Chains A and B, each alone.
Chain A
Amino acid sequence: MSIKQEPEKRKKRKSNFSRRGFLQGVGITSGVLTTGILETQADAQTSAKVSGPGEVPITLTINGKPYKTNVEPRVTLCDALRHRLDLTAAKRVCDRGTCGACTVIMDGKVVYSCTVLAIDAQGRKIETLEGLSQNGRPHPVSQAFTDNDAQQCGYCTPGFVMAAKGFLDKHPNPTYEDVKRGLGGNLCRCGTYVGVRKAVLEAAGKMKGAARNA
């Protein structure tokens, strides 16, 4: 049997579509829809801006600072951080939104940066592990990970620290069970979970203390 491993046909980079869209002449009106989603919408024939497929300039707000770079729309936030901005704390491991090593906080919520397009992260408040240390002092979560030896090879650690930080921001008084549930989106291969559990509970105490003293 002879089989060819055919290269992917490179699709035409030029769009076949009219960017002005199909709406002309179709006449979507407020009457078409009944449950109220579209009623508020203006019927102007504006068309959204289409970018790419080549590189486009983007600005990301990371740890409170603007970062400008150029990426193709297909570049993920994880790859933009690591390959373009030299912010390499977030690690690329499963690269399919399963293991959590690439976790960052976006608009206050933990997300997998491997599964966010960089271009789509514009205008969002992105926190990476690099931004947690203040004036050279490790964040209480980072400190607790070290004190409780919640790391071995350390490759899952940045994702875990961010997941833990995001978790504690929302659950400042977690129980042991809460911690187990709250970090269900991160995986470790060396097997550091025992330390992680202790670290997160200890960090919770310290962060509350810090908040009181602030």
Chain B
Amino acid sequence: MPNTPDYHWPPMGQRKVMGTRINRLDGIAKSTGAAKYNSDLKPDGMLFGALLTSPYAHAKVKSIDTSAAEKLKGVTAVRVVAKAGTEIQWAGAEIAFVAATTEEVANDAARLIKVDYEVMPHLVNEEDLSKAGARAKPAGEQNTGDTEQAFKEADAVSEGHYGIPVLTHCCLEPHGQTIAVNGDKVEYFPSTQNVYGIAGDIGRALNVPVTNIHVHMEYMGGGFGSKFPADRWGLESAELSKASGGKHVKMFLDRATELTIAGNRPSVFAKVKTAAKKDGTITAWQSESWSTGGVSGGGLNAQLFPYVFTNVPNRRINHTAVSVNASSQRAWRAPTHPQVCYITCSALEDLAAKVQMDPLDMFLKNLHYTARAELYKFQFAKAAELMDWKKNWHARGDSGSGPIKRGLGLALGTWGGAGHASTCKTTIHSDASVEVELATQDLGTGTRTMVAMIAAETFGLPISAIKVKLGDNSYPNSGGSGGSTTVGGVTTSTRKSSVNALQKLFEVVSKSLDVPPENLEAVDQRIRVKGNPDKGMSFTQACQKLGVNTISEMGANVPAQAPQEGLNTGGVGGVQMADVSVDTDTGIVKMNRLVAVQDCGLVVNPKTAESQVFGACIMSVCGALYEERIMDQQIGRVLNPDMEFYKLAGIGDIGEIIVHMDIREENDKRGVVGLGEPCAIGGIAAIGNAVANAIGVRVPRVPLIPQRVLAALERRNA
């Protein structure tokens, strides 16, 4: 009986592939246009789907007449999902679906459907809580210590209100799928973060066993947390296919629908009161917050206040959930954290200004309230060095003459990111080709590349020798990509299946080398005897000994066991610092620089890891300066479901971004930890604080558009 294989990662200094800067494996496919996304598919005879949505935020369908649509030449199926009597809870809600031979005809048909609505009262905006009435519901209160007493005893008390609006995911590849249902067989090509799990949604709806549903997705064009379920359009496209003789139906949402119903992140508004001693020690936190995540209200874990500085001794937290007639929230990179971070770090920066302290010093002073003081201390020092903080920081508003004011701000974040359940199969063929199969997905995070790197490292092979197969539910189960759980899960399962397979190969080879398998190692494309590197054979020769056989071994990440194994863990920290210039005549904020120092344990591929952080920083610039869902109470609709007024930063709007991956032995030995969420938390807060520092007054509500910046300046001057 061989010993339990050693799955541990090679020590930091001894890795050949892990930790090196590898180009993403699908880079060329994407940059040459060869990559076929599921929205690019066009199987023979494919039909196009179209969707009719409600123009009203709250209404009852009185009657619906599809006869004209059904008669239109080229239409193969019409499906009503909001039958007479259905109560519609938001504008953009699905009413009916159509399939037709061309997209143009499908759209024509959808417009021929006649719907009679009884319009009902609606509420779409939550910022003004006084207008929410009964739609505002208590959503939790927490009292720790004695806040009242702490405020009385404090040297400084700061009060402010802050707001961060609903954002929409705005995935560039819209939600949707190409799907064919033939009898009880389903071919399903969605754009999803959940290749393995998504079949369940379809199976339940069609009453088809999941085993009959083949899901495949090589590439996907952005999800950010919004692409887990099959959604109404998935289920209805399946029905349309069924009703159209089993032909493939392709339906991807148009942009306006995508921005209206395919994902949004909850807002948070808050009145905050904080207290500190003269030396900057925070003594009390009190927040009354409210938010909306759509009709369901809620959507926010207010227990996270005060963010990261969780152990401030006196805390009073109160949260209200507001139900509005808008589509439901979905997860977004680090659910709740960016919002709670924004409000906390803004309030604490205001408090620092109150005690006339550099917020960096104040944050450092209070790190004992956090769960990882040493890590943040190091990261703040590193970020301060990259930002030249001590030289460039000035007291709030003390930014010289002239209309352009420059300022610095900072924030910090944390996330879990331990690996999800993942199973992987590694196969070694006698021709020395190695394949790794798992039903994960690469959202553009570099998952494919990291899986290959882990296998290459394990086998002592170059990355080009590894074939990675993912994005298909016929491969072993691997979790959905949410919560930054993918990288820990797939690297662990890949490591284990590959070590297991290598073990088998050692067993085959050990006879010819006349040493026990545990004395063998795989290094530099050779299988050789430990301590006697000349004794061995090439990997190719070793594989030839398999003859007609192959080696196929499984490996799994089991979250409950992962802490003992140490291949992946959770819990990371990161800090961000922003440097902005504000034109006080126009209220326009320009990014000069954003610095991110981010830990994610063992960094498998620094190149794609940095890209993730760059991307999160840019997303933060969008959230801080440009993007917000704008709803009109009169019409109950989104006013900006487009990419013209749902504004995103362009290439010239982001300033310089400096990313420092916090790669250190002490972080590395915690194993692999997810990265997508933690780096997407602090940027908005850091930018908001930089603007307050520049202009000497808090702009309470992001995005920091000219009208809000100018209004804040006016208040300061008043």
Physical contact A–B (CB less than 8 Å): yes
> Is B32 on the interface with A (CB-CB < 8 A)?
yes
Of the listed stretches A2-10, A33-41, A43-51, chain B binds: A2-10
> Which of A20-28, A188-196, A205-213 lies at the binding interface?
A188-196
Within A172-214, the residues touching B (CB, 8 Å) are 179-181, 183-184, 186-197
* Nearest-CB residue, chain A, relative to B95: A5
Residue A115 CB within 8 A of the other chain: no
Using known A-B contacts A190-B444, A193-B651, determine if residue A93 contacts B33 with beta carbons closer than 8 Å: no
CB proximity to A under 8 Å, residues B612-640: 612, 614-619
Partner of B23, one of A96, A99, A149: A149
The answer to the question of B657 belonging to the interface, with a C-beta cut-off of 8 Å to chain A, is yes
Chain B 217-245: CB-based contact to A (< 8 A → 1; otherwise 0): 00111111000000000000000000000
B window 107-123: CB within 8 A of A = 108, 111-119
Does A166 sit within 8 A of B, measured CB to CB?
no
Which B residues, 598 to 620, have Cβ-Cβ distances below 8 Å to chain A? 607-608, 610-612, 614-619
CB distance from B643 to the nearest CB of A (A): 4
Report A191 CB to chain B, min CB distance, Å.
Answer: 3
In the assembly, what is the distance between CA of A161 and CA of B28, in Å? 11
How far does the alpha carbon of A199 sit from the alpha carbon of B114 in the complex, in Å? 51
Residues of A within 8 A of B103 (CB): 79, 83
From known contacts A4-B116, A98-B642, A153-B221, infer whether A184 and B652 are also in contact, taking CB-CB under 8 Å. yes
Determine whether B62 belongs to the interface, using a CB cutoff of 8 Å to chain A. yes
**One of B167-175, B268-276, B413-421, B660-668 contacting the partner:** B167-175
The minimal Cβ–Cβ distance linking B632 to chain A, given in whole angstroms, is 17
Contacts of B111 in A (CB 8 A): 7-8
The answer to the question of B35 belonging to the interface, with a C-beta cut-off of 8 Å to chain A, is yes
Contact (Cβ within 8 A) A2 B118: yes
**B31, A88: Cβ atoms closer than 8 Å:** no
Residue ID in chain B nearest A94 by CB atoms = B643
Q: Which of B51-76 contact A (CB under 8 A)?
A: 55-56, 59, 62, 68
CA distance A101 to B172 in the complex (A): 8
Q: Once bound together, how far apart are the Cα atoms of A98 and B647, in whole Å?
A: 10
Tell whether A96 pairs with B642 under 8 Å between CB atoms, given A3-B56, A7-B68, A192-B611: yes
Decide yes or no: A151 and B114 within 8 Å by CB, A189-B222, A190-B222 being known contacts. no
Cβ–Cβ contact B255 & A149, under 8 A: no
A7, B112: Cα distance in complex, Å: 5
CB <8 Å contact, A155 and B651: no
Pair B614/A194 contact, Cβ less than 8 Å: yes
How far, in whole Å, are A152 and B42 apart by their CA atoms in the complex? Answer: 24
Contact flags A50-84 to B (C-beta < 8 A → 1, else 0): 00000000000000000000001011000100110
| B119 / chain A contacts, CB cutoff of 8 Å | 1-3
Cα–Cα, bound, A143→B30 (Å)? 10
Q: How far is the CA of A188 from the CA of B616 in the complex (A)?
A: 12
**What CA separation (Å) do A8 and B648 show in the bound complex?**
33
Chain A residue with Cβ nearest B619: A191
Interface SS of A by simple majority: loop
Whether A187 contacts B444 by the Cβ 8 Å rule is: no
B611 near A128: Cβ-Cβ < 8 Å: no
Residue of B nearest to A74 (CB): B104
Binary interface encoding of chain B residues 409-448 relative to chain A, with 1 for a CB under 8 A from any of its CBs, else 0:
0000000000000000000000000000000000111000
Q: Across the two chains, which residue of chain A brings its CB closest to B608?
A: A149
User: Which of A1, A86, A93, A179 is close to B651, meaning CB atoms less than 8 Å apart?
Assistant: A179
Q: How far is it, in angstroms, between the C-alpha of A54 and the C-alpha of B183 when the chains are bound? A: 35
- For the complex, is A108 an interface residue (Cβ under 8 Å from B)? no
CB-contact partner of B654 in A83, A91, A193, under 8 A: A193
- The smallest C-beta distance from A52 to any residue of chain B, in angstroms, reads 11
Among B32, B104, B618, B619, the one with the most A-chain Cβ atoms within 10 Å of its Cβ is B32
Beta-carbon nearest neighbor of B445 in chain A:
A152
Q: Is B26 an interface residue (CB 8 A)?
A: yes
Quick check: is A129 within 8 A (CB to CB) of the other chain? yes
* Contact call B112/A91, Cβ cutoff below 8 A: no
Does the CB pair A195–B40 fall under 8 Å?
Answer: no
Cβ-defined contact, B648 with A133, below 8 A: no
- The reply to whether B618 and A193 contact each other, CB–CB distance below 8 Å, is yes
Contact with A along B106-146 (1 / 0, CB 8 A): 00100111111111000000000000000000000000000
Are B651 and A180 touching (Cβ within 8 A)?
A: yes
- Is A107 an interface position by the 8 A CB rule? no
Interface string of B239-257 (1 = CB under 8 A from A): 0000000000000001100
**Nearest chain B residue, comparing its CB with the CB of A1:** B119
Assembled-state Cα–Cα distance A1/B542 (Å): 79
Q: Which of B68, B610, B611, B643 contacts A93 (CB 8 A)?
A: B643
Q: Is B112 a contact of A155 with CB atoms below 8 Å? A: no
Whether the Cβ atoms of A8 and B112 lie closer than 8 Å is yes
Given known contacts A1-B118, A88-B40, A192-B611, is B651 in contact with A153 (CB within 8 Å)? no
Which residues of chain B are near A1, meaning CB under 8 Å?
A: 118-119
- Once A2-B62, A154-B35 are accepted as A-B contacts, the answer to whether A191 and B615 lie under 8 Å apart by CB is yes
Kindly state the separation between the CA atoms of A6 and B116 in the bound complex, as whole angstroms. Answer: 8
Task: Give chain A residues whose Cβ lies under 8 Å from the Cβ of B42.
Answer: 82-83, 86, 88
User: When the two chains form their complex, are residues B33 and A5 in contact, meaning their CB atoms are under 8 A apart?
Assistant: no
The reply to whether the CB of B514 lies closer than 8 angstroms to some CB of chain A is: no
* Contact, CB under 8 Å: A186 / B31: no
Judged by a CB distance under 8 angstroms, whether A139 is at the interface is yes
* Nearest opposing residue in chain A for B119, CB measure: A1
Contact B117 A2 (CB under 8 A): yes
A156: CB under 8 A from chain B?
yes
- Chain B residues lying within 8 Å of A75, measured Cβ to Cβ, are 104
Contact of B172 among A142, A153, A181 (CB under 8 A): A153
Query: Is B15 located at the chain interface by the 8 A CB criterion?
Result: no
Q: Which of B26, B113, B116, B221 contacts A2 (CB 8 A)?
A: B116
Q: Does A113 lie at the interface of the complex (its beta carbon under 8 Å from any beta carbon of B)?
A: no
Contact flags B198-209 to A (C-beta < 8 A → 1, else 0):
000000000000
Q: A77 → chain B, closest Cβ, in Å?
A: 14
Which B residues touch A187, using CB under 8 A?
643, 648, 650
Q: Can you report 5 residue pairs joining A to B where beta carbons are below 8 Å apart?
A: A2-B119, A3-B59, A128-B33, A138-B32, A192-B611
What 9 A-B pairs come out closest when comparing CB atoms?
A: A89-B33, A191-B618, A155-B221, A191-B615, A146-B27, A153-B444, A154-B30, A152-B444, A88-B40
Known: A79-B103, A91-B173, A133-B32. 13 other contacts (CB 8 A): A5-B117, A89-B34, A142-B32, A145-B31, A146-B30, A152-B615, A154-B219, A161-B31, A183-B650, A183-B652, A186-B650, A188-B618, A188-B651
